[in-house]
């Protein structure tokens, strides 16, 4: 009888290779891919459904507002600790239009409230999902005067403040 490692090592190497191949094949096939989700609960959205520039069904005429205050969601904001909203804090008058613009490469929201556990989250405003380069405008008068904290529901560590005078 020869050395036990002469047969065992190649057998273990072959089993490891087979396991790696099967894991790669089956687990990468299980990753959800865009456009391949089949569900009776899924509602198809058009591309314009995620890049909203209005407040619901009514179209906003920017010329009716004294000023447009742009708040940008900065590129790289999804990484905790990176700058997220600019300007932060932001200031607007009650006659202004506030527009959030997503310059990042992933989805974000701007939702009123302190965090996900805030019982009043989203009651003053919620941009819904903003896809990359998407924007959402909300009249400052609809938000109301005062200092308002908002955050991203997807990345709750992204927090900003807007003051309406």
Inform me whether the pLDDT recorded for 70 exceeds 50. Answer: yes
- Sign of the torsion formed by the C-alpha atoms of 136, 54, 92 and 123: negative
pLDDT in tens, 132-162: 999 999 998 888 899 999 999 989 899 999 9
Asked if the model's pLDDT at residue 1 lies above 50, the reply is yes
Strands 85-86 and 135-139: unpaired
Domains in the chain: ranges and CATH? 47-164 (2.60.40.420)
Handedness of CA 107, 111, 113, 117 (dihedral sign): negative
Burial of 162 (0-12, 13-18, 19+ CB in 10 A): buried
| Reported pTM | 0.63
pLDDT reported for residue 50: 46
Q: Are 144 and 74 in contact (CB under 8 A)?
A: no
| pLDDT class of 57 with cuts at 50, 70, 90 | very low
Exposed e or buried b for every residue in 136-147, given b needs 16+ CB within 10 A?
bbbbbeebeeee
């Amino acid at each position: 009888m020869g050395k036990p490692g002469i047969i065992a090592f190649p057998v273990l190497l072959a089993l490891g290779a087979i396991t790696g191949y099967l894991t790669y094949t089956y687990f990468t096939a299980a990753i959800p891919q865009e456009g391949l989700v089949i569900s009776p609960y899924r509602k198809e959205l058009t591309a314009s459904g995620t890049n909203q520039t209005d407040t619901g069904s009514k179209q906003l005429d920017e010329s009716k507002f004294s000023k447009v205050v742009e708040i940008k969601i900065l590129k790289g904001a999804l990484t905790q600790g990176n700058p997220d909203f600019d300007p932060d804090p932001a200031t607007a008058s009650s006659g202004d239009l506030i527009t959030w613009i997503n310059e990042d490469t992933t989805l974000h929201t701007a939702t009123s409230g302190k965090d996900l556990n805030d019982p009043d989250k989203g009651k003053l405003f919620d941009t819904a999902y903003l896809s990359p380069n998407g924007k959402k405008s909300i009249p400052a008068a609809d938000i109301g005067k005062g200092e308002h904290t908002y955050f991203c529901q997807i990345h709750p560590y992204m927090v900003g403040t807007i003051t309406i005078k």
